[in-house]
Structure 1
Amino acid sequence: MTTLPPHKTPLVLIAGHWLGSWAWDAVTQELDAAGWRPAPMTLPGLDPEDPDRTTRSLADQVAAIERLSEHLGVSRTEPAVIVAHSGANAPVSVFIDRHPDLVRRVVWVDSGPMASGSAFAADLPDGVVELPLPPFDQLAGQASIEGLSDADLERFRDRAVTQPASLLRDPVVLHDEARRRVPTTLVCCSFPSAQVMELARGGHPMFAPVAELERVDVVDLPTGHWPMWSRPGDLARVIADAAARQ
């Protein structure tokens, strides 16, 4: 890992569906030890203590990232590094669109930017209020669980928060072309970077926005979809190295 004196740049860590700030515990420990300033957060809708969490919106999540950024002292002269895993790509895509000058670099962890007008699951029936973490044999058909121990899976099951369906239906709406100029690191875990870039250049709906980015570094970290548990030390090093880049 890059060894630096205490680094003023905040690293905002945002995990995907069913997860809160706790998902980054092992990564945060590594970054703390290296002198970085990690700031893991729990998005609205994923706080089990919030009585209104099932009604939270994408706008609420973006506003929460804005509040945390203000709390951390993020500014045009002291921008943050945003680390977004998996389904955190919706609020992070909007945040970058609104505040490209507040983001020094975005690190997508087995994730990537979303296209304007897209939603994770726009066709979910209105009667669906929440989506629970599915059985692991079913989940493995949707996202790789390679590298996760029995203890990892048990903790995942015990701490997962049912995903509000409202957040999956809300479309991402983007306006500012400056978002494409924000330096970007893609951490490719479930798919090798060569395949990701081929899909992006081919216009695959999930990956096409990557081809529109002006400054992209790619890093292969072969493992499953949850590298913060399967390879936390390696992921921390990748994040630190990305954050140290200009």
Structure 2
Amino acid sequence: MTTTTSSPTILLIPGHWLGAWAWDEVLEHLDTDESRAVGMTLPGLDGDDPDRAAKTLDDQVAAILDVVTGLGVSDNEPVTLVAHSGANAPVSLVLDRHPELVHRVVWVDSGPVATGRAFAPDLPEGVEELPLPAFDALAHQVSLQGLSAEALERFRARAVPEPGPVLRQPVELTNDARHKVPTTMVCCSIPSAQVLELTRVGHPMFADVANVEHLDVIDLPTGHWPMWSRPRDLAKVIQSEASRTT
């Protein structure tokens, strides 16, 4: 039987090109009387930082741990990490380095990264950053389903180019204890049945899912950015998963 806790601490981490603002609509629907929930902007995604293009995955990991510490998280009161899309690289590293601080990880249209993988290993060293592509090109890579014209306009206006070092840096993992952290995959643009089948056949994108000891999958059919297309439903899922004790 699943039991719940009434006061989870939730840290929401957005994917590529996004800052904490990406979670605004989700935060509006979270029960703030029963949870401490905050979004964060990873190093490299702050448009006002003149050095942002030089930021690395290590910088992002350090920043996540700083926020976790600031929330008063400890091994007795761990945090639920919610990671969307490309946030899977720094969050996988956090799980590897400090699994004791994480109550549960909720992957939003994402999943754990296998050791040695980089998002764009062939990106030339001379490329300092990767801007948000044109939407017609982006739609060939991921689903834009459910996004209104207003959401797309806001995305374009507020997107910050992704730092090249973050995209090139491989994720090096050594601690198998990360696989013991309770894990929920919220499957949006790819149905859970397909994700599990890709895991079974060893698809590189989902290779490390097979090693997770406590895995739940939840289907939330929509595009790759459910925080904008289905914010209320996503908030409900996050609240429920963060409140679980088993």
After TM superposition, the structure 1 = structure 2 runs for residues 1-246 of structure 1, keeping only pairs within 5 Å, are 7-33=6-32, 35-246=34-245
Is the Cα contact below 8 Å between 1:15 and 1:88 reproduced in 2? yes
Q: What whole-Å deviation, never above 9, does each CA across 1:75-130 have from its counterpart, x for those lacking one? A: 00000000000000000000000000100000000000001111000110111111
Matched to 1:186, the amino acid is M
- Does the Cα contact within 8 Å between 1:31 and 1:37 map onto a contact in 2? no
Q: CA offsets per residue over residues 162-197 of structure 1, 9 Å max, x none?
A: 111110001101111000000000000010000000
Q: Using the alignment, how far apart are the partners of 2:60 and 2:31 within structure 1?
A: 25
> What CA distance in whole angstroms lies between the structure 2 residues aligned with 1:56 and 1:8?
33
Q: Percent identity?
A: 63
What is the CA-CA distance between 1:8 and the residue it aligns to?
3.3
The answer on whether the counterparts of 1:17 and 1:87 sit within 8 Å (CA) in structure 2 is: yes
Contact 2:8 2:34 in 1 (8 A): no
- 1:35-76 superposed Cα distances (whole Å, 9 cap, x missing partner): 321110000000011110000010000000110011001100
Counterpart of 1:207 in 2: which secondary structure? helix
Distance 1:132 1:100 in 2: 32
SS of the counterpart of 2:110? coil
Q: Is the 8 A contact 1:133 1:162 kept in 2?
A: yes
Residue 190 of structure 1 aligns with an amino acid whose one-letter code is S
TM-score normalised per structure 1? 0.96
Q: In structure 1, give the amino acid aligned to 2:29.
A: E
The answer (yes or no) to whether the contact 1:14–1:41 under 8 Å persists in 2 is yes
Native 8 Å contact 1:90 1:114 kept in 2: yes
**1:34 shift after superposition:** 5.6
- Rounded Cα–Cα distance in structure 2 between residues aligned with 1:34 and 1:147: 29
Deviation at 1:223, TM superposition (A): 0.1
The Cα RMSD (Å) is: 1.2
Q: CA deviation at 1:212?
A: 0.7
- What number of residue pairs does the alignment pair up? 242
What TM-score, normalized to structure 2? 0.96
User: Which structure 1 residue ranges, 4+ long, deviate > 3 Å from structure 2?
Assistant: none
